Amino acid sequence: DIQLTQSPSFLSASVRDRVTITCRASQGLSSYLAWYQQKPGKAPKLLIYAASTLQSGVPSRFSGSESGTEFTLTISSLQPEDFATYYCQQLKSFPYTFGQGTQLEIK
């Protein structure tokens, strides 16, 4: 199975901060990586697919990048509604594993 390691697990930040979350894969993913946002009691919401393509309707302050087996999700200027848990997911091969999550909290 492909392992995904997210860092950090917890992140405390303020409104208008720039934050970056990293996801490292145990093997190459050929850009088959997606990022999701999940708020308490809600289903995950797709933010980024194919490592760097913004899902329709997602604000442009969200962006994704890829360098080898390291993927990053960047929020350029945090807004109050961005405080949530973020997950990466690989879709390169079965089983379609998720990272352990990054909980983004208000400082």
Number of residues forming the site for another protein (CB under 8 A): 22
In the three-class reduction of DSSP (H, G, I as helix; E, B as strand; rest coil), residue 8 is classed as coil
State in angstroms the smallest separation of the CB of 17 from another protein: 24
Residue with tokens 């909290």: 105
In the three-class reduction of DSSP (H, G, I as helix; E, B as strand; rest coil), residue 82 is classed as helix
Count the neighbouring beta carbons within 10 Å of the beta carbon of residue 15. 12
Backbone angles phi, psi at 91, to 5 degrees: -125, 25
**101 scored as a contact of another protein (CB under 8 A):** yes
Asked if 66 contacts 33 with a C-beta cutoff of 8 angstroms, the reply is yes
Instruction: Please select the residue that binds another protein; options are 37, 49, 62, 83, rule is CB under 8 A.
Output: 49
**Residues shown for the chain:** 107
**100 scored as a contact of another protein (CB under 8 A):** yes
**83 scored as a contact of another protein (CB under 8 A):** no
- The span of 17-25, 30-38, 62-70, 75-83 binding another protein (CB under 8 A) equals 30-38
**89 scored as a contact of another protein (CB under 8 A):** yes
In the three-class reduction of DSSP (H, G, I as helix; E, B as strand; rest coil), residue 87 is classed as strand
Which residues would be at the binding site for another protein (CB under 8 A)? 32, 34, 36, 43-46, 49-50, 53, 55, 87, 89, 91, 94-101
